[in-house]
Amino acid sequence: MKKIVFFDIDGTLLDHEKNLPESTKKAIDLLKKNDVFVAIATGRAPFMFEGLREALEIDSYVSFNGQFVVFENEVIYENPLNEKELKKLFEHAKTNDHPLVFMNEKTMKASVKHHPYIEKSLGSLNFPHPDDDDTFYVNRMMYQSLLFCEDQHEKLYFSNYPHFDFIRWHPYSVDVLPKGGSKAEGIKKMIERLGFELKDVYAFGDGLNDLDMLKAVGTGVAMGNGVPEAKELADLITSDVSNDGIWNGLKELQLI
């Protein structure tokens, strides 16, 4: 029976310096040779990992934590944020000097010209501070937003927006997603399209936005560098991303 493996990007495919380990590239090539379907499942927007898709020759992915799903370069699922609620969040956050970044599949725009939280958070992904356009979300589909605040301020928002889920990914930044949207939901759309059974679905991840995915698939694999919550949920814990984590995990699963 054909199998599929989904890979998170940051801390999973890419190491702590945002490089693609040689052993990971080799492992992905071997997977394909073994007739295993390979896909990406990430919180990133599609424009943020074009180079990686090209390097690994992967054209199926779950992006924006499940809100924009592409199968062999064809969009098969979209779940945008509610524009009215996003406007409400933007105006509320503005009063607290908490900026937003609005994201669609092609680009991102900041609600302010410059903010150190935006610079530091996106800088950790090797992305520059986006240009500002505080009306970018109007009459456009936004699949994810980023809210920039420290964790002691996040409670100002979490219980006030029933249409949204908030997931922290950086000390200064929180993903804003449609309620119930997750990598797990995006993966379900992909495997429905492919007709795979859940037992033949594997996923590798390391972060808080991977928990639903690791729980939902047939076999969830946490990276050695993963958060404790991911390791608790996983069926298997592999080595650190910088210590051949992907290669070792796939070997242990006998997929390569």
Tokens of 129: 């501070």
Quick one: pLDDT at residue 89? 98
For the chain, 256 residues long, give each residue's pLDDT as a single digit of tens.
799 999 999 999 999 999 999 999 999 999 999 999 999 999 999 999 999 999 999 999 999 999 999 999 999 999 999 999 999 999 999 999 999 999 999 999 999 999 999 999 999 988 999 999 999 999 999 999 999 999 999 989 998 999 999 988 999 999 999 999 999 999 999 999 889 988 999 999 999 899 999 999 999 999 999 999 999 999 999 999 999 999 999 999 999 9
Output b/e per residue, 36-53; b: 16+ Cβ within 10 A. Answer: bbbbbbbbbbbebbeebb
Residue range 235-244, pLDDT digits in tens: 999 999 999 9
What is the SS3 assignment for 165?
Answer: strand
Residues in CB range of 168: below 8 A, 6 or more apart: 151, 154, 174, 175, 208
Determine the longest span between alpha carbons in the chain, in angstroms: 55
**Measuring CA to CA, which residue among 143, 220, 212 is closest to residue 184?**
212
Q: Which residue type, as a one-letter code, is found at position 238?
A: T
What is the SS3 assignment for 176?
Answer: strand
Strand partners, 36: none
DSSP 126: T
Give the ranges where 46-105 is alpha helix by DSSP (H): 50-56, 83-95
Full set of structural domains in the chain with CATH: 4-78+181-252 (3.40.50.1000), 83-178 (3.30.1240.10)
The verdict on whether 8 is a catalytic residue reads yes
Residue of 8, 15, 165, 175 marked catalytic: 8
Rounded Cα distance, 135 and 132, in Å: 9
Sheet strands (E) in the chain:
4-7, 37-41, 61-63, 68-71, 74-78, 100-103, 108-110, 144-148, 164-170, 173-178, 201-205, 219-222, 236-237
Quick one: pLDDT at residue 159? 87
Question: What predicted TM-score, i.e. pTM, was given to this entire model?
Answer: 0.89
